[in-house]
Amino acid sequence: MSEFRCGMAAVIGRPNVGKSTLINAIVGRKVSIVTAKPQTTRHRILAVHTTAASQVIFVDTPGLHRNAGKAMNRLMNRTAANALADADVVLFVSDATRWTAEDDDVLRRLRKVRSPVVAVLNKIDRVQPKEKLLDTIALMSARYDFAEIIPVSALERDNLEALLAVLPAFLPESPPLFPEDMHTDRSREFHIAETIREKLTLMLHQELPYGLTVQVERLLEEDQGITINAVIWVERDSQKGIVVGKGGAMLKRVGRAARLELREQLACPVHLELWVKVRSNWADREEDLMRLGFEAP
Ligand SMILES: Nc1nc2c(ncn2[C@@H]2O[C@H](COP(=O)(O)OP(=O)(O)O)[C@@H](O)[C@H]2O)c(=O)[nH]1
Ligand SMILES: [Mg+2]
């Protein structure tokens, strides 16, 4: 009889290739927020997939950023680098329809990694005609000595079972590190703050989402539902105006979208109160970032 296997799979790739979507699809729930904008994932998030024979602990990472100027970007790059160093296997995710210089950047960093690297070719639902996939796979195998190359569609949950089938072989023999009904290491407060940030990122234009963060200040659970008080931190007064919107319209839209999703996920009525506050340069102050849930260096 073979032993139980358990270990870490770091999920790496440039922004927007579908890393968070892939992890959510594998664990069957939304543990990491998803938008079409880069920099959506800021934190290291663990997602746990347990079967009778193995437990894979996926590490969702912020994409590696070229602009490491601000403290937040430096911390995000460090978080991604730490995840790489700890991994038993690395999942290098790319978009099967598009290879860019940023993909090359990420691949270059993988050359220093000792663990095996599995290439995940995502978004194959967009590849037409299907025969083109063979060329894409051939190109991938020329770029790096991947342990496996697995084409998938995270969005349509296509071929995920092939990916899950190869991973346990890369993990050490070990008992599970997490209870089998646990899907993420993140708290409910964190998940709520992230859901609000996802709606803000989806609804606000341009650069503004990068300048804000969300903090849950109070969570009150009662028989009739959950009351949440959350603060949206922005860097400047002008940004506050945009987040609040004309007559509070934007804040209302964001609040409604977040409340509907949270009600679904928490399976109870949700009362959500949002405030917008200004704290200048929070994204460039490490102590502010610690308070807002970023990993300590
Ligand atoms: N068509 C298609 N879109 C996808 C797929 N996976 C992710 N996406 C989309 O790609 C965008 C970025 O996804 P996200 O998971 O946030 O990427 P990340 O930045 O790598 O974490 C989102 O709009 C997703 O809906 C896929 O398999 N097919
Ligand atoms: Mg992400």
Domains of the chain: 5-170 (3.40.50.300), 188-291 (3.30.300.20)
Ligand 1, atom 8: nearest CA belongs to which residue?
18
Does 79 sit in the ligand 1 pocket, CB within 6 Å?
Answer: no
Does 77 sit in the ligand 1 pocket, CB within 6 Å?
Answer: no
Q: Residue 296 above 60 pLDDT? A: no
Does 209 sit in the ligand 1 pocket, CB within 6 Å?
Answer: no
Does 153 sit in the ligand 1 pocket, CB within 6 Å?
Answer: yes
Q: What is the pLDDT of residue 35?
A: 79
Ligand 1 pocket mutation, candidates 14, 20, 30, 34, criterion most atoms within 8 A of CB: 34
Q: What is the pLDDT of residue 37?
A: 78
pLDDT tens digits, 6-37:
999 999 998 899 999 999 999 988 888 887 77
Q: What is the pLDDT of residue 279?
A: 84
> Token pair for residue 131?
């025969």
Among 21, 54, 14, CA closest to 38 = 14
DSSP the chain: -PPPEEEEEEEE-STTSSHHHHHHHHHTS--S---SSTT---S-EEEEEE-SSEEEEEEE-PPPPS---SHHHHHHHHHHHHHHHH-SEEEEEEETTB--HHHHHHHHHHTT--S-EEEEEE-GGG-SSTTHHHHHHHHHHHHS--SEEEE-BTTTTBSHHHHHHHGGGGSPB---SS-TT--BSS-HHHHHHHHHHHHHHHHS-TTGGGG-EEEEEEEEEETTEEEEEEEEEESSHHHHHHHH-GGGHHHHHHHHHHHHHHHHHHTS-EEEEEEEEE-TTGGG-HHHHHHTTPPP-
Residue 235: pLDDT band with limits 50, 70, 90: confident
Least confident stretch, 72-76, 130-134, 208-212, 263-267: 72-76
pLDDT tens digits, 85-96:
889 999 999 999
pTM of this prediction? 0.83
Q: Give Cα 207 distance to the centre of its chain.
A: 19
